[in-house]
A and B are shown apart, each in its own frame.
Chain A
Amino acid sequence: AQSVTQLGSHVSVSEGALVLLRCNYSSSVPPYLFWYVQYPNQGLQLLLKYTSAATLVKGINDFEAEFKKSETSFHLTKPSAHMSDAAEYFCAVSESNGNKLVFGAGTILRVKS
């Protein structure tokens, strides 16, 4: 069975600082990996996804993530945090056909001015 672990339920950074949100996965087959963002009282928006092409994936709003098979990790980064990045972020893994998306518990990102 596939699973996702997000390290840190809350992360706080200063505006302009590096954002690093950690995600480790477990999968018996080559995974598809995703990062989603959820703003308060809204649905989920896809930030980026890995589907076995380039290991460094670039997404919207300058976010990117690197797939590291040896570490079973897919950490999300952004060079410079903006106030508008404050939200909850979810890492997710799916079967190679894209079915049965499994989510991590989420990380709430706080951006301090």
Chain B
Amino acid sequence: NAGVTQTPKFQVLKTGQSMTLQCAQDMNHEYMSWYRQDPGMGLRLIHYSVGAGITDQGEVPNGYNVSRSTTEDFPLRLLSAAPSQTSVYFCASRGIDYTFGSGTRLTVV
């Protein structure tokens, strides 16, 4: 089925570890974005991309890196995880409307 696929669904990291959250879409959408969701704060934009090779920062970019080498993929990298990055992460792509992935629940201990 067409949509946005996020992997993994759950992850536990130790402080200082690195990891990449994967996001892939098969709808040929140019625009993709990453959000983090924290209780009482809604979803906050981390990074976004308007097409392959083009990325930009959102509201809370510190501690996260992104790249966009293909239209389909938009991975989010945590270079040195911190407890403050414990959150639920959502990837979204946009054609006419936004399509959200099912999320990655990340815990940093």
Give per-residue flags for A40-66: 1 if the beta carbon is below 8 A from chain B beta carbons, else 0. 001110100100000000000000000
Q: Which of B66-74, B79-87, B96-104 is the contact stretch?
A: B96-104
Q: In the complex, which range does the number of interface residues on chain B fall in?
A: 20 to 34
Cβ of A99: which chain B residues have Cβ within 8 Å of it?
Answer: 31, 48, 50, 94
Chain A interface, DSSP helix/strand/loop, else mixed: loop
- Chain B, residue nearest A1 (CB): B59
Other contacts beyond A46-B97, A100-B58, A103-B35: 12, CB < 8 A? A4-B42, A42-B103, A43-B90, A43-B100, A43-B103, A99-B48, A100-B45, A103-B43, A103-B44, A105-B40, A105-B41, A106-B42
Q: Could you show 7 A-B contacts with beta carbons less than 8 Å apart?
A: A42-B103, A43-B101, A44-B90, A46-B98, A99-B50, A101-B92, A102-B45
Which residue from B35, B59, B97 sits with its C-beta under 8 Å from A49?
Answer: B97
Which residue from B40, B43, B48, B103 sits with its C-beta under 8 Å from A100?
Answer: B48
B33 interface contact, C-beta 8 A:
yes
Output the least CB separation between B25 and chain A (Å): 13
Report yes or no: B102 in contact with A43, Cβ–Cβ below 8 A. yes
Chain B interface, DSSP helix/strand/loop, else mixed: strand
**Please, how many angstroms separate the alpha-carbon atoms of A50 and B100 in the complex?**
19
**Please, how many angstroms separate the alpha-carbon atoms of A40 and B45 in the complex?**
21
Report yes or no: A104 in contact with B101, Cβ–Cβ below 8 A. no
- Chain B, residue nearest A105 (CB): B42
**Please, how many angstroms separate the alpha-carbon atoms of A49 and B44 in the complex?**
19
- Chain A, residue nearest B91 (CB): A43
Cβ of B50: which chain A residues have Cβ within 8 Å of it?
Answer: 99
**Please, how many angstroms separate the alpha-carbon atoms of A100 and B50 in the complex?**
10
A9 interface contact, C-beta 8 A:
yes
